[in-house]
Amino acid sequence: MSSSKKNTTALIILMINMFIAMLGIGLVIPILPKFMLEFGASGKALGFLVAAFGLTQFLFSPIAGEWSDKYGRKIMIVGGLTAFTLSQLIFAMGTEMWMLYVSRLLGGLSAAAMIPPMMAYVADITTEEKRGKGLGMLGAAMSLGFVIGPGIGGFLAEYGVRVPFYVSAAVAGVAMLISIIMLPETLSRDKQLEARSTKTKRENILKQFAMSFKAPYLVLLILVFALTFGLANFEAIFGLYVDIKYGFTPKDISILITIGALVGVIIQAIFIDRLITRYGERKLINMSFLISAVALLLMLLSGNFWYVLLITILFFTFTSILRPAINTLLSKMAGNEQGFVAGMNNAYMSLGNIIGPSLAGILFDKHTDIPYSFGAVILLLSLVLSVAWNRRTASGRRSSAQA
């Protein structure tokens, strides 16, 4: 087999692996409310359960990237798939809450083990000209898995609330075996040994955060956190909210999440370039924060299925527009700090994925409406911060031009 064909086959295997991992993460969303009823668990427990995944992913992602340089891409990817298979099995067989927490923590660890090495693998097998396309295809597999996951989870739950987890574990196990047999290692033994012998120490995450506080793009990183917080806040208790308040089934929830997220992904893919060209990143960010906040408040007004579907589509559409708009502006401001900014972007996003679900669960136990009201307040405060920052930077640019 030619080198080009080998690389294409490897990329396809990576895309399948990424799709399966994101599928498993997404399918849990519509099932959790019914699943948690078996344990008599609270909204707080649900929020912490969702956040547990983000916690281990946040802690281990930098380490996984470093280990993939020292020990090779393949071993990390296969190890991640193995951990993911185990996490899904533990969740499916769980009879105690601690087992569910172990499953989610292990799931976050598996994502941390897989995602950085997969991205490094793509860099290994592509030229600089084709690297963007390769990473784009990997990103598409990630988005597609997460979007389709809730739909598959909701429909499989018709056969039993634990069935989706068994199916996910089986498919991940097959992907692990395919990777062992067919996925070649791309990092030579010499490069692995060189990475192991290097004396350069990676700065710890706290020092990196301290550096980000002094950066001119700090406000954009805060907006990344706020966006992720709002999105995680919405998704974490969405199933429990519409189940308890409106009596929606896992199938209803899967339809709402899948259609809403799918529309958001399609609009992001097709229209984001045109929207940025027409309105510019700053106006687009402000408009998206405003409409996303309004959507959260509108969610409280009615339990009609078609109304909730419309609001869900509205929310997912404008949060899908927000992320690339912020990321584009961040990239423009990063200059020669692209790597640092990308790492900080991921770190602030991870914090949103941890704090958003945790707080949503705690607030949900106080009153079912509080999480979405509070989420709307956070998004509106982000709008105020963005507007103030835009005015300050515009004033700074005018002063520089006059000088």
190 CB-near residues (< 8 Å, 6+ apart): none
What's the pLDDT tens digit per position in 174-189?
Answer: 888 988 888 888 777 7
> Using the 8-state DSSP alphabet, how is residue 2 labeled?
-
pLDDT at position 370: 93
In whole angstroms, give the CA distance from residue 307 to residue 313. 10
In whole angstroms, give the CA distance from residue 236 to residue 255. 16
Inter-residue contact 226 to 379 (CB < 8 Å): yes
In whole angstroms, give the CA distance from residue 391 to residue 386. 9
Residue 308: pLDDT over 80: yes
- 80 vs 119 pLDDT, higher one: 80
Neighbours of 402 (CB within 10 A): 6
User: What is the distance, to the nearest Å, from the Cα of residue 346 to the centroid of all Cα atoms in its chain?
Assistant: 9
- Range with the lowest mean pLDDT among 64-73, 109-118, 129-138, 308-317? 129-138
Most confident of 81-90, 146-155, 275-284: 81-90
CA-wise closest residue to 322 among 291, 345, 356: 291
Q: Average of pLDDT values for 351-377? A: 90
Question: What is the maximum span of the chain, computed from C-alpha positions, in angstroms?
Answer: 71
Q: Rounded to the nearest 10 degrees, what angle do helices 73-93 and 3-37 cross at?
A: 20
pLDDT at position 96: 86
Q: Binning pLDDT at 50, 70 and 90, where does residue 396 land?
A: low
Residue 287: pLDDT over 90: yes
Q: Binning pLDDT at 50, 70 and 90, where does residue 339 land?
A: low
3-class SS shares of the chain: helix, strand, coil, % to 5: 90, 0, 10
Q: Is the dihedral of CA 123, 124, 126, 127 positive or negative?
A: positive
Q: Binning pLDDT at 50, 70 and 90, where does residue 344 land?
A: confident
Q: Binning pLDDT at 50, 70 and 90, where does residue 204 land?
A: low
Percent of the chain predicted with pLDDT > 90: 18
